[in-house]
Amino acid sequence: MRLLLIEDDDRIAGPLIEGLGRYGFTVDRVRTGADGLAASSADLVLLDLGLPDMDGLDVCRSLRATSPVPIIMITARGEEADRVVGLELGADDYMAKPFGVRELVARIRAVTRRTGALPAVPPGPEATPPVPATAPAAQTTSAPQQLGPLHIDRRTREVRLDGRDIALSPREFDLLAYLAEDPGAVHARQQIMDTVWDPHFFGPTKTLDAHVAALRRKLGDAAWITTARGVGFRLTVPGDPSPEDTR
């Protein structure tokens, strides 16, 4: 699936292109509204509203006037009014910065499903009928997860250890829930930052270490989260045999 990204900010576009690439999307990127309107057709457009040469809403209006291509607006905080206008102009959805790649991919899949958008099929009577989106959206795990003495309920965002409630900040919960999706697997630092924080997180990733330290403290045993040196972290139940000791 080919995406057209209209975004002037390299710090946002770079990580987005990389992150979306990991999900199998091909991304054509332009920096201005004019280039966006001149770009060849894509299967879906990601449109930043704050562009250097024109108002993103005008780009949205022009795109919609000539094409049914699904449009997801990328908006900054404080652009609520623009979002409403954008949706009225025919945008299909919006993402408010900051957001994670995984969240965006879920939104892309939802919009694609809703609009029945397909990788460019020439219009005409012989065109193939819409097919369902390529893959199911990110799995929503509603059943509580039990890992040894650790109980994680993603629906209520509650964590219990040996039946005792553990108070986590929202980010700590997201980090724990993410690591727990695949216990024992090493999650790379950047992968964690992209998913639990957002794809245009820059600078030192010390905040990740701080959250890992807080989780270890709250879980009462540093062995819950082991460090794969130079790579990332993994969640293991303390006492469980580990394939290799990388602490």
Residues engaged in binding Ca ion (CB under 5 A): 8-9, 48, 50
Residue 213: CB minimum distance to Ca ion, A: 35
Q: Is 118 helix (H, G, I), strand (E, B) or coil?
A: coil
3-class DSSP string for 197-228: CCCCCCCCCHHHHHHHHHHHHHHCCHHHEEEE
Residue 173: CB minimum distance to Ca ion, A: 31
Residue 52: CB minimum distance to Ca ion, A: 7
Identity of the residue, 101 or 177, whose beta carbon is nearer to Ca ion in the bound complex: 101
Residue 56: CB minimum distance to Ca ion, A: 8
The whole-angstrom separation of Cα 102 and Cα 195 is: 6
Residue 159: CB minimum distance to Ca ion, A: 38
Identity of the residue, 73 or 152, whose beta carbon is nearer to Ca ion in the bound complex: 73
Cite the beta strand spans of 60-149 per DSSP E.
71-75, 93-96, 145-147
Q: What is the residue whose two structure tokens read 């029945």? A: 116
Identity of the residue, 50 or 144, whose beta carbon is nearer to Ca ion in the bound complex: 50
The whole-angstrom separation of Cα 41 and Cα 83 is: 23
Task: Identify the CA nearest to 227 among candidates 241, 216, 240.
Answer: 216
Identity of the residue, 69 or 74, whose beta carbon is nearer to Ca ion in the bound complex: 74
C-alpha count within 13 angstroms, C-beta hemisphere, residue 229: 4
Identity of the residue, 107 or 200, whose beta carbon is nearer to Ca ion in the bound complex: 200
Residue nearest to Ca ion (CB): 50
Q: Which residue type occupies 216?
A: R
Residue 8: CB minimum distance to Ca ion, A: 5
- As given in the structure block, the two tokens for residue 178 are 């993410």
- As given in the structure block, the two tokens for residue 30 are 């332009």
Q: Is 181 helix (H, G, I), strand (E, B) or coil?
A: coil
Identity of the residue, 10 or 221, whose beta carbon is nearer to Ca ion in the bound complex: 10
- As given in the structure block, the two tokens for residue 214 are 């807080």
The whole-angstrom separation of Cα 106 and Cα 122 is: 26
